Homo-oligomer: A and B are copies of this chain.
Amino acid sequence: MVLELKVPHGDDLAALRPLLPVFLSYVLSFVYVGIYWNNHHHLLHAVRQVNGPTMWANLHLLFWLSLIPFVTGWMGQNHFHRIPVICYGLVLLMAGVAYSILTRILLRHHGKDSVLHKAIGSDFKGNLSLVAYLVAMPLAFVHPWISMGIYFAVAALWFIPDRRIESHLKE
């Protein structure tokens, strides 16, 4: 985990206060990286063989995830100002798109009856997340905390144990 917090100079709790926004964005990014790590683990567990396109799609995903520490720090150090918040959303969106591409490439190489297919399901959550990011980004012009609220809501969505919820929503 490459996210980093700079050590403050003071020795009291007040010294931690300016770090609060950085810490908050750190927590959010930790959760997002955790979600990707978690799902990525599940995904690759169900994969039987890895080929060229898969590795490129995987690298593409890693590229966007590698930008998360950068946008996290930028957003936190600017107290969730509009533009950094939008850029944060953009990186989340691109990581989501990259994950979706990786999933599709993997599905194409595995049959419809494969374990992988059952493990991924309809990717309802994935698509909902992409839409949420697209909605959240322009809303930062109204107020950045609306975007932040949506980013947190999407993260929460992935925490809920879902199979059942998903099937209800699809009916």
Contact = CB atoms under 8 A, between A and B. Distances in A.
Interface string A14-34: 011000000000010010001
The A interface is mostly helix, strand or loop, or mixed, namely helix
A37 interface: yes
A10 to B, nearest CB: 8
- A interface, size bucket: 35 or more
A159 B30 contact: no
A7 B26 CA distance: 14
- One complex includes copies of this chain to the number of 4
A67 B74 CA distance: 19
A170 interface: no
A77 interface: yes
A171 interface: no
B5 A70 contact: yes
Interface string A60-86: 001100110010011001100111100
Given A7-B77, A12-B81, A30-B66, 13 more contacts: A1-B62, A7-B73, A7-B74, A9-B77, A11-B78, A11-B82, A12-B83, A13-B83, A15-B83, A27-B63, A34-B63, A38-B55, A56-B159
